[in-house]
Structure 1
Amino acid sequence: MSRKPNLLLIMCDQLRYDVLGCYGNELVQTPNIDRLARMGVVFDQAYSQTPVCVPARHGLISGLNPFEIGLLKNEGLSREIEAPLPELIRQQGYHTCAVGKMHFHPARRHYGFNRMLLSEEVPSHFDDDEYLQFLRAQGYGHVIEPHGKRSELYYVPQISELPEHLHTSAWTADTTCDVIRQNRNRPFFLFSSFIKPHPPFDPCVPYDTMYAPDQVPPPKRREHERTSDDAWIDVMNDYKVNGIDSLSREDELKMRAYYYGCVTQLDKQIGKILDTLESCGLIDDTLIVFTADHGEMLGDHYSYGKRTYYEMSAKVPMIVSWPGTLPEGERRDQFALLQDIYATFVSAAGGKVPDASSGVDLLPAAGRRGQPTREKIFAEIGRGRLFKTMLRWDRYKYIYHANGGKENLFDLLADPDEFNDVSAQHPELCRECREQMKAYYSGYGLDEALDGGRLVRYDETEHVPRGYLDQSPKWPSTVIAEME
């Protein structure tokens, strides 16, 4: 009997698909992610169903729609995950290990991982975070907030206080490589999860100067999106940054330049992982999936962050590589979701995908052109007035907003930048979308989406956006005291 394939999931946090060379970017240097794309299959229509950290990650490891476990934003689960991915893989004889950012609550909830080596974005305790312990052992315990200064500086471009070899991206890659070498003689499932390029955008030297701001493309947007008589942006993205309307063009471009620097710095570390697989003779025996939990608006449509169904927030990169088993250097336009990784890995490990899972095994689609995955995607995020839902099919995207019952319809083939809302020109099509949404959410009993026999709607009010002054938690004082 042939050996089971190793399973490697590489996830980046807040990574836009369009900053990668394999997705058409000609400026940002991503040679190693592009190398992985040449070794595998690129999915061009992959989405994060609930584009914010906690729901996206838990939807992936549960194989369920995030709302089925009570997640519509960054919040606690209301239902236990009955068949978590690491546990199902472990039952197939795998060593399972988590490295980097998991964002689980509590932090060391193992879900079937044999071992967890963590570098969390906002750790709750020093003893829970191997990266903080590493920093102190290296003499850098005095660096408060080693992932960048948060709070008021959350979206202010900054240079990391750490040398590159001690940065969280390097630690995550180096630790991943150690795990690969230690387990080269037995099948492993390794979830390697990078914090970056999540804000703060804090590249190390020399990545801070790699991209000149005056050479960086400006955000994609139109003036009508910021006018006071058009509430479009407030309902499309409730995470607009305070003061964004007064940012200078220089500030905006510098922010984008530093984000690009974080991406290239990260790409170098992913190259280390690929090199280690090759030097250990494991590259052909390893099924690799590369993705992100969601994207980053980065000024497009006058927005920053995620929590919206614009493409740059909800669409994610997804590369599936298994040299010698899957095609190399090919692309697929079938729809994919993060929980499809669940079904893909369980199937590859020889397990049975639970009937309750909403994931689809991507290996048939990756292996053969035209193999169907799903015809449409339903997606949802937020609670109360901030609830919004998307229906994505064919060339179209329909978005419904509980705030005022506003709706958007985009023809992405004709309007890939999503500037032209054509909902007014297609009222019957929009009505059909609403009917599909009502039937879908009624089937799940999702109360957040429904009000009697219709989609939930609140009287429109002006939304006061939350921004970098209060949008991210400060590090707990207990952690700071333990680091010193």
Structure 2
Amino acid sequence: MAEFRPILVTMRKLATQIGICILLSTLAFAQTAKQARQGPVPRNVLLIAVDDLDNHLGCYGDPMVQSPNIDRLARRGVRFDRAYCQFPLCSPSRTALLTGLRPDSSRVYDLQTHFRTTVPNVVTLPQHFKNKGYFVARVGKLYHYGVPRDIGTSGLDDPLSWTTVRNPKGRDKVEENLITNLTPKRSLGSSLSYLAADGTDEEQTDGMVATEAVRLLERTKDDPFFLAVGFFRPHCPYVAPKKYFDLYPQNKLPLPAHSPGDTTQYSREAFWTYPFNWGLNEDQRREAIQAYYASVSFMDAQVGRVLDALDRLGLAENTIVVFWSDHGYLLSEHGQWMKQSLFEESARVPMIVAVPGAEGNGGASPRTVELQDIYPTITDWCQVGTPAHVAGNSLLPLLSNPKSAWDHPAITQTDRKSGMGRSIRTERWRYSVWENGQGAEELYDHDRDPYELKNLAKESGFDEVKRELRSRLLGSTAKVTK
């Protein structure tokens, strides 16, 4: 019998190995069958909204502003170099993106009108995902808030859009009495005002927004989620911990070189800030710019905390991350501040879209795109269908090849007492027309005039360019949802 023992041992080992293989095959089959019954694994959404952020960021070529976390997001996604808002004012812009309706369809042009009063049955972007069974949460500002007035409340929110909401309120709200206002005749929500704050990042409202966002990621990591994270900074008042102010010594801050120049070439409606620079001298302008940059870097650090959590929890491999600002922001270019103009610095926004495994990741797209494109891009990538009312175009082709063929101009509009101003932006041209009773026009050649200092609208030789752009611009306004 002894001579058979090695054979018996070998047979036992072989039987054990065969049993393990059968067990593993059974488990794999069961898992495959389970996935087949459940369908493909749902894709997640992380939507990061920022308030009043322009393109002064490292990844957009700014040598001064420190934004390492937004920069690293750009390296893992596609940076859109010509992205534009639909309306350079918080509520109309956010309403357009989140409802999928252009301003002339939602008829939201101000900070008071709620879209449910004008288009009560529209299905918003987050609501669409909620209807698909996702956990849908909002932290901070997505729809309009009055800042700083409404911090800690739901502001002009839409309850139908969310499963749950979080409304943090930090010491920036509590310590408003410490804020320096360089424009004391203006309220804090529309002022050049700042505070180099004591304390930690986590004590500020945006720090609390990041903390709540991380908690929600930890809570929902095993379920399909749509998480919308809205940061308040760099919206005024520019409040950030003092260490961020120290990054930007005032004596090293350059002022924009381009001033209004010959103002007779523009219509009166082109300007929102009167008097130019609100009468601030150069030192005061540098104070405001320092505070704005400090707020940008502070906000960037909070974005980094959320991105770190996404990576730590292993969620980045199945989550689309979309970073955007509701409009641009002027820092004394053209003698203007903030938004509400059709100039490039007001209409252009930073926008970064990162999807796992996209061929274009790490690249930059020179194509003209809009915030209106975010809704169909997210629904397209997540394969949840896109409602028929949604305007804009899915950006998935540009996420595969950022320089692929694309012929979609960007449309921006803003309101004045004398009527609406509308602007169309192609890769070369910006053409604007004002409903001021005279139809004042502006035409800028961005190949030769990136700062829009030379209005060509009244010069000879540009009639055909104006005619084509005007036709496309006014044709787009006719395509609205009634």
Q: TM-score range by the shorter chain?
A: 0.7 to 0.9
Alpha-carbon offset, residue 223 of structure 1: 5.4
- Aligned residue for 2:397, secondary structure, equals helix
The residue aligned with 1:440 is 476
- Aligned residue for 2:295, secondary structure, equals helix
The residue aligned with 2:443 is 409
- Aligned residue for 1:430, secondary structure, equals helix
Is 1:116 the counterpart of 2:153? The answer is: no
The residue aligned with 2:175 is 143
Is 1:155 the counterpart of 2:192? The answer is: yes
The residue aligned with 2:465 is 429
Q: Distance in 2 between matches of 1:7 and 1:357?
A: 18
Is 1:180 the counterpart of 2:217? The answer is: yes
The residue aligned with 1:378 is 411
Is 1:364 the counterpart of 2:397? The answer is: yes
Q: Pick closer, same or farther for the CA change 1:145–1:172 going to 2, 3 Å.
A: farther
For 1:148-181, what per-residue CA distance to the aligned partner results, in whole angstroms no more than 9, with x for missing partners? 8784552133334664321111111111111111
- Aligned residue for 1:206, secondary structure, equals helix
Partner amino acid for 1:11?
A: A
Q: Distance in 2 between matches of 1:353 and 1:87?
A: 12
Q: Distance in 2 between matches of 1:259 and 1:6?
A: 32
The residue aligned with 1:400 is 433
Give the one of 2, 6, 10 matched to 2:48.
Answer: 10
The residue aligned with 1:314 is 347
Partner amino acid for 1:361?
A: S
For 1:424-445, what per-residue CA distance to the aligned partner results, in whole angstroms no more than 9, with x for missing partners? 2223432443344444334549
Q: Distance in 1 between matches of 2:77 and 2:474?
A: 38
**Contact 1:380–1:389 (8 Å) recurs in 2:** yes
The residue aligned with 2:142 is 102
- Aligned residue for 1:193, secondary structure, equals strand
- Aligned residue for 1:79, secondary structure, equals coil
Q: Distance in 2 between matches of 1:276 and 1:305?
A: 32
Q: Distance in 1 between matches of 2:94 and 2:179?
A: 20
**Contact 1:287–1:320 (8 Å) recurs in 2:** yes
User: Bigger shift: 274-283 or 323-332?
Assistant: 323-332
The residue aligned with 2:28 is none
The residue aligned with 2:315 is 282
Partner amino acid for 2:365?
A: R
Is 1:339 the counterpart of 2:372? The answer is: yes
Q: Distance in 1 between matches of 2:156 and 2:302?
A: 24
Q: Distance in 2 between matches of 1:211 and 1:233?
A: 35
For 1:282-330, what per-residue CA distance to the aligned partner results, in whole angstroms no more than 9, with x for missing partners? 1111110111000111111000111112111111111111232453211
Alpha-carbon offset, residue 279 of structure 1: 0.9
Give the one of 297, 300, 305 matched to 1:264.
Answer: 297
Alpha-carbon offset, residue 11 of structure 1: 1.1
**Contact 1:326–1:366 (8 Å) recurs in 2:** yes
**Contact 1:147–1:160 (8 Å) recurs in 2:** no
**Contact 2:104–2:480 (8 Å) recurs in 1:** no
For 1:224-249, what per-residue CA distance to the aligned partner results, in whole angstroms no more than 9, with x for missing partners? 25x6xx273742132x0557353111
- Aligned residue for 1:266, secondary structure, equals helix
Partner amino acid for 1:33?
A: I
Q: Distance in 1 between matches of 2:450 and 2:344?
A: 9
Partner amino acid for 1:23?
A: Y
Give the one of 91, 116, 122 matched to 2:131.
Answer: 91
- Aligned residue for 2:202, secondary structure, equals helix
User: Bigger shift: 158-167 or 204-213?
Assistant: 158-167
Alpha-carbon offset, residue 405 of structure 1: 2.2
**Contact 1:50–1:73 (8 Å) recurs in 2:** no
- Aligned residue for 1:202, secondary structure, equals strand
The residue aligned with 2:286 is 253
For 1:77-125, what per-residue CA distance to the aligned partner results, in whole angstroms no more than 9, with x for missing partners? 322251111121122221100111123486342233101112xxxxxxx
Higher helix share: 2
Give the one of 53, 66, 75 matched to 1:29.
Answer: 66
User: Bigger shift: 176-185 or 351-360?
Assistant: 351-360
Structure 2 residues not aligned, in runs of 5+? 1-34, 145-153
Q: State TM-score, norm by structure 1.
A: 0.81
Q: Pick closer, same or farther for the CA change 1:349–1:25 going to 2, 3 Å.
A: same
- Aligned residue for 2:357, secondary structure, equals coil
Q: State TM-score, norm by structure 2.
A: 0.81
- Aligned residue for 1:45, secondary structure, equals strand
Partner amino acid for 2:231?
A: F
Q: Distance in 2 between matches of 1:80 and 1:161?
A: 44
Q: Distance in 1 between matches of 2:472 and 2:217?
A: 46
Q: Pick closer, same or farther for the CA change 1:143–1:370 going to 2, 3 Å.
A: closer
Structure 1 residues not aligned, in runs of 5+? 119-130, 447-484
Q: Pick closer, same or farther for the CA change 1:161–1:333 going to 2, 3 Å.
A: same
**Contact 2:105–2:481 (8 Å) recurs in 1:** no
**Contact 1:177–1:273 (8 Å) recurs in 2:** yes
Q: Distance in 1 between matches of 2:323 and 2:73?
A: 9
Alpha-carbon offset, residue 45 of structure 1: 1.2
Partner amino acid for 2:175?
A: V
RMSD: 2.5
Q: Distance in 2 between matches of 1:443 and 1:40?
A: 31
User: Bigger shift: 167-176 or 365-374?
Assistant: 365-374
Is 1:217 the counterpart of 2:254? The answer is: yes
Count of equivalent residues: 424
Q: Distance in 2 between matches of 1:202 and 1:398?
A: 36
The residue aligned with 1:349 is 382
The residue aligned with 2:329 is 296
- Aligned residue for 1:195, secondary structure, equals strand
Q: Distance in 1 between matches of 2:106 and 2:173?
A: 37
**Higher Cα Rg: structure 1 or 2?**
2
Is 1:327 the counterpart of 2:360? The answer is: yes
**Contact 1:62–1:339 (8 Å) recurs in 2:** no
Q: Distance in 2 between matches of 1:33 and 1:67?
A: 32
Give the one of 14, 18, 39 matched to 2:76.
Answer: 39
Q: Distance in 1 between matches of 2:139 and 2:347?
A: 24
The residue aligned with 2:29 is none
Partner amino acid for 1:20?
A: L
**Contact 1:294–1:314 (8 Å) recurs in 2:** yes
Q: Distance in 2 between matches of 1:148 and 1:67?
A: 38
Q: Distance in 2 between matches of 1:147 and 1:290?
A: 29
